[in-house]
């Protein structure tokens, strides 16, 4: 069993405890996205990318406190101290943080970030947004709610906005934040799908369709 396979076994039980927006199916989709981008980035360290994908949400502050899951699993994978440092640096750069994201310092970090963000937009992104909102008891929409374009990470995490507001505060911004050529290419159609969905939603809400 290689390190990626061992990591898969160790993380699955953690993700199975999360709601459908961040469950193991999310990890599988992000892995597909990452492997697709990797084909266009042959110099990237595939093992680092795949391990970071598997681990990037095990210590997500929406579900856990601290980094115990991430650290405990990495320590079971027979990695050097430097390898662990690099993988943790990749993981740390993935989160949006309300627009206060850390810089992606390596090609591997750029790939994992884009792969994760691709799963946050398009049809899957729409489904995940409402799955998370439903799990948290949030409104579907509130078109009177003020959209925040600047906020601290704490403000981003603490305010329970309606699900549709999340599109304007994060999801519609992600296309222009993609860092790899393939990521930007894949984001185009998904971004447009969200725009079309939001237009349809407003028409239906207003009784025009």
pLDDT band at 135 (very low <50, low <70, confident <90, very high): very high
Q: Taking the alpha carbons of 149, 21, 94, 31 in that order, is the dihedral positive or negative?
A: negative
Q: How far is CA 125 from CA 66, 160, 201, in A?
A: 26, 18, 15
DSSP 102: P
Q: What is the CATH number of domain 3-205?
A: 1.10.3210.50
What value does the mean pLDDT take over residues 171-178? Answer: 98
Q: What is the per-residue pLDDT across 47-68, written as a single tens digit (0 to 9) for each?
A: 999 999 999 999 999 999 889 9
Count of residues for the chain?
209
Provide DSSP, 50-67: HHHHHHTTTT-TTT-SSS
Residue ranges of the domains in the chain?
A: 3-205
pLDDT for the residue 159: 86
pLDDT band at 111 (very low <50, low <70, confident <90, very high): very high
pLDDT for the residue 28: 98
């Amino acid at each position: 069993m290689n390190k990626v396979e061992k990591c898969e076994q160790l993380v699955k039980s953690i993700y199975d405890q999360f709601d459908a927006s961040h469950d193991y199916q999310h990890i599988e989709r992000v892995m597909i996205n990452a492997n697709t981008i990797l084909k266009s980035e042959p110099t990237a360290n595939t093992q680092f990318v795949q391990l970071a994908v598997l681990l990037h949400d095990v210590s997500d502050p929406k579900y856990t406190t601290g980094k115990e899951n991430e650290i405990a699993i990495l320590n079971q994978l027979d990695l050097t101290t430097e390898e662990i440092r690099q993988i943790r640096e990749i993981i740390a750069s993935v989160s949006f943080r309300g627009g206060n994201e850390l810089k992606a310092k390596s090609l591997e970090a750029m790939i994992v970030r884009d792969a994760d963000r691709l799963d946050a937009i398009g049809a899957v992104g729409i489904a995940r947004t409402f799955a998370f909102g439903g799990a948290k008891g949030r409104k579907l929409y509130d078109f009177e709610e003020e959209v925040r374009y600047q906020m601290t990470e704490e403000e981003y995490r603490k305010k329970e906005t309606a699900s549709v507001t999340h599109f304007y505060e994060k999801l519609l911004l992600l296309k222009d934040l993609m860092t790899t050529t393939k990521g930007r290419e894949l984001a185009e159609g998904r971004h447009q799908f969200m725009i079309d969905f939001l237009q349809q939603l407003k028409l239906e809400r207003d009784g025009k369709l």
